[in-house]
A and B are shown apart, each in its own frame.
Chain A
Amino acid sequence: MSHSGEDPDHNQTPTAASDSISDATADKDLDDDDYADEEEELSEESKLRAQKAKMENLFHRISNETVPLRVHDVLIKGNNRTKESLIEAEIECLREATSVQELLKAASIANARLQRLDIFESVNITLDSGPAELPGTTNVIVQVVEPRMPYSGDFGVYSRPELRTWTLEAAGKLKNLFGYGDLWDSSLVYGWDQMSEFSAGVYLPRFKGIPTPVTARASLFSQDWLKFSSFKENMLGVSFGLLSTKNHDLAYNLSWRTLTDPSQMASSSVRRQLGHNLNSALKYTYKIDNRNSSFRPTKGYAFVSTTQIGGLSPDTRCLRYLRQELDLRCAFPLGFYNAALNFGVSVGVLFPWGSGFRSKPTSLLDRFYLGGTSSPVCTLGGPTSVLGFKARGLGPTELRRKGKDDNESSDSYPGTDFLGGDLAITAFADLSFDLPLRVLREAGIHGHIFASAGSLNKLSENAYRNLSYQKFRESLRSSIGCGVIVPTKIFRMEVNYCHIVSQQASDRGKTGVQFSFSSP
């Protein structure tokens, strides 16, 4: 494959000067310093001219033909803490280069990979001439700068629209503690009376021969669902990210979950589920996203399949369930006003397994809940969103316990608990288009018209026997509307007018203006 036999000139190597490549761009801006002072001696100037001419010639050749080159050695400098094996693994592609072009490309990839480890302040890859006795070779010098302080911290107040609450969040990060590119982090989230979470984890970019990142995380989590379903969830667990590539993701989770009802108002079904359970589950996600944008997709498609198997333990008293989610999104450009049609369908099924599985219930924590204001166009997380309905605002419900307050009349309405469902289906159609004003167009602000529908049904405890086409149609809720979308760098804001087409008495759907925030 080498071109060296074709032209003797090919043996010429870029020995004149070190060729510095920074930030993944091998620019041809070899030092302007080479243009020497006018006060320098003439011989010096002529030398430089000759050198410049040589370099120009080289660049000309690089841009026109393949220049063979072999990497003789790779020198790594500046890694006081980082293990050399980690850096070598990331820059392996440099050694395979057989030409200058390939080497430049490999250098930019290696640079990007090292930067992505997030453990260096800067990375500089320099191509130097190889030993004089080995013409056509180069030495690659990888110069990394490790941060003086390998820790960082964040603190802020964030909005969580899906829970209708604000949270105070603090996070600390420790980088490269053991030199394996390991990132240690801990975070604390506190949402007034609603949720709190403390978690700590480690991220390893490579673990032995496994070329994909491995993660481990321990967390302590508490979430208040009293407003929606009269229970509070406490969770103590560990999770391990076993495999993470562009399309595949495999994770294991072991958690002790406790459901309590401090309000003592839970409905019968929720009451029967109160207590402890152990979840030992493996989750596999397959994802393809070919859309041109996740904020405003106008072309392409996306598909996500998430399979979860619970009960992977010899102890039969662990929760045993199968949970499958499928998510499909398609965008079709219409060719005028930057208009595009987006379609999406999401399906989720949950079912227990093990002896007597047909009559067993599924856990409230694993069930599907629909509603909420997150945009179905952006979100790729299974069946969740039906615009116009509040979070956990539709599906099977049950009456709560009556209040024991003496002042309360005995026939007062106790309210309902949303129980979630085992079979969830949502679908949407969305037509987005540019607005006529140029100012809005330039800011990316555009309009859309949408229709969304969702259905939530129970399958467990033999309920699947009663599920007929008629019942499924009755369980269908839908809404239509239009709105304006304001995309920003970190989130997408929508102001929508929603009209509820069909809903049931216990649902929390509302015709009117709605604000929603989504992150991709």
Chain B
Amino acid sequence: MEGGGKTITLVARKACFGLPTACPSCLPVYVFLKLTGLPFFFNYNLTYPDSDQIPYVETDECNVAYDNENGGVIETLKKDGIVDLDTGLDDIPEWISIKAMITSWLADAVLYELWVGSDGTSAYKIYYSDLPWPISKFLYYKQVNLAKQLLGITKENAVRREKEIYSKATKAYEALSARLGEDLYLFESRPTSLDALLLGHVLFTLHALPETSNLRSKLLTHTNLVKSAESFMTNYVVTSDSSSGLQPGDPLSSGSQSQSHQSTSASGRGSSNWRSNPRSKPKREKTEEEKTFRRRAKYFLVTQLAAVLIFLSLFGGSDNVDMEVDNDDDGSIYG
């Protein structure tokens, strides 16, 4: 196996919804590293949601594979000879067309669901829940606009574009489902980077998107795709948490936190829900942490508002009020 005995560290976005990382860009890289069987450290960056550098993989002190270079992290790892699962496959026309389908049609569908087609709860939890309130709100609305621009959605064509995105996603699911059949992997019964991309997408759609999601309901009709994701979670994530495959990360520098994702199957929706049909929006139980945060946020807002009102009333009313001056002014105060 490649890797050359190097210490590999994956830095990704937040773990939630029962996934080790709930970011649609980071999950395929995580799956890829899992499929390679290489031991790796896993760390998080929780404060940079708008970065295109994340995920990145550090292969030693001075070498990093950023997601915004050389076609992404997986391609860079292959190019640098760190690890390659696609030997002899990545120039097959069918391989290329499947990859293009996953990285365009399915990626667009996820982008749409996450930022435009839902209420943004999932996106907020994945990207912004560790940033202070004003920053997270601003960045969220900025990203929504950016997603609309990327997808070419305007007020006029919104319905048409939505239909088109879902139609392409349906076709892609049908094609991938047919290609996979009853196998676990797409090509030659061995894991490749294409499987990592597909599994990353399927896991994200099943776990992170709300149960009312259209995309999720379309995916659930393809049981073999769902089954392959279940199988990956059982074989690689849950078991490896108790074995040597995944090691907990180092304490991180600022802006990041080390988190163990032992809760992969414990929190979030369990696999038993995966086959359920879309239903009316469920009422989610708020966790204690969320309640505390909401309480604090309300307190913060109320005090800020009170401060502004006091300031305005004092400043605005000063026109008619004589200035009070301390008589013990000794001049030294201005020094």
Contact = CB atoms under 8 A, between A and B. Distances in A.
A276 B134 CA distance: 11
A207 B316 CA distance: 12
B119 to A, nearest CB: 22
Contacts of B47: 275-277
Interface in B291-330: 296-297, 299-300, 303, 314-315, 318, 321-327, 329
Contacts of A462: 251
B62 A400 contact: yes
B32 interface: no
A74 to B, nearest CB: 13
Contacts, number: 135
Contacts of B58: 268
B125 to A, nearest CB: 14
Contacts of A275: 45-48, 51, 255
Nearest to A257: B135
Interface in B35-93: 43, 45-48, 51, 53, 56, 58, 61-64, 66, 68-69
Contacts of A92: 325, 327, 329
Place the interface of chain B in its size category.
Answer: 35 or more
B297 A85 contact: no
Contacts of B315: 207
A332 to B, nearest CB: 25
Contacts of B46: 275
B70 to A, nearest CB: 8
A171 B314 CA distance: 29
Contact of A362 (B254, B296, B326): B254
A278 B132 contact: yes
Which of B62, B318, B334 is the most central at the interface, judged by chain A CB atoms within 10 Å of its CB? B62
B331 A315 contact: no
A377 B140 CA distance: 49
A246 B64 contact: no
Interface stretch (A156-164, A208-216, A428-436, A448-456): A208-216
A216 to B, nearest CB: 10
A57 interface: no
Contacts of B335: 245-247
Nearest to B64: A401
A93 interface: yes
Given A88-B323, A211-B325, A245 B63 contact: no
Main secondary structure of the interface of A (DSSP, over half): loop
A86 B315 CA distance: 14
A93 B329 contact: yes
Interface in B234-253: 251-253
A213 to B, nearest CB: 8
B51 A274 contact: yes
Which of A92, A275, A362 is the most central at the interface, judged by chain B CB atoms within 10 Å of its CB? A275
A113 B135 contact: no
22 contacts: A92-B329, A96-B327, A113-B334, A208-B323, A209-B325, A211-B329, A245-B333, A247-B335, A261-B53, A271-B11, A271-B56, A272-B255, A273-B254, A274-B53, A274-B255, A276-B47, A276-B131, A277-B47, A278-B135, A317-B130, A360-B254, A361-B254
Given A207-B315, A276-B131, A314-B299, 6 more contacts: A180-B318, A271-B56, A272-B45, A272-B255, A275-B51, A359-B251
Q: Which 4 A-B pairs have the closest CB atoms?
A: A246-B335, A275-B48, A272-B253, A275-B47
